[in-house]
Amino acid sequence: MSTTPPTIEGVVRALTMLSQNIKSQVIERHELDPKSVTLISRLRKIVDDAAVWLDQVDKRLKAEDVKRGVTRLASYTYLIISKNEIVVMRSKPEYIIVSVNPEKNSTSIKTRNTVLLIEPGRIYMRVKGVSIEIDPLKAEDYISKRDELVNALRVLGKNIDLKVSLLIEQYVSKKAG
């Protein structure tokens, strides 16, 4: 049984391509009102940020001899590598889990009140019990679900940007041990 960890390079490429496709196939191809463009751009920024964070994690994984299993990064912060998944998790002061499945090219970010799942062909969000699912390359989804998306992205943007960036920075800046 190999202990080589899965690589998340493909997930980073998929997220980068999704962001580019949102721009070229939704923003640039459709005549959208300014509010819709702003909304789509906010979601695109979250996808871009996730690609940057995961690229940093991937570089760190490649730079070190990280094996499958659980590695303590800091107090209450862990890196978990299984056969099909890489997870960076912090349980205190606030819980956050960033999970990557290279086989499915999916990224999941979970906090106490939010879930963001990015997969090829779909983005699923749950914020304070309200669920929204869209096809990120269909302008109609953004328009028909605009009110729900505005509220979800407001909360997700704050939660994910601050919490995930701190978590990933903690992982990238500290030596796993």
Rounded to the nearest integer, the mean pLDDT of the chain is 86
pLDDT of residue 155: 87
Q: pTM, whole model, 2 decimals?
A: 0.85
Residue 35 near residue 146, CB atoms below 8 Å? yes
| Domain edges within the chain | 9-173
Sign of the C-alpha dihedral computed for residues 74, 80, 85 and 90 taken in this order: negative
Residue with the two structure tokens 């871009």: 48
What pLDDT, on a 0 to 100 scale, did the predictor assign at position 8?
86
* 3 state DSSP class of 149: helix
pLDDT at 170 over 80: no
Tell me the mean pLDDT in the region 122-144. 94
Decide which of 159 and 38 is more confident.
38
> Predicted confidence band at 159 (pLDDT cuts at 50, 70, 90)?
confident
pLDDT at 73: 77
Name beta bridge partners: 80: 70, 87
CB 82, CB 130: distance < 8 Å: no
Band of pLDDT at residue 5, cut at 50, 70 and 90: low
Which pLDDT belongs to residue 176?
Answer: 44
**pLDDT class of 177 with cuts at 50, 70, 90:** very low
Q: How far apart are CA 172 and CA 177, in angstroms?
A: 12
Separation CA 177–CA 175 (nearest Å) = 6
For 38-97, write each residue's pLDDT tens digit. Answer: 999 999 999 998 898 888 888 877 877 777 888 887 788 888 999 889 998 888 877 889
H helices within the chain, ranges in order?
A: 9-21, 34-63, 139-144, 146-173
Sign of CA dihedral 60, 41, 20, 6: positive
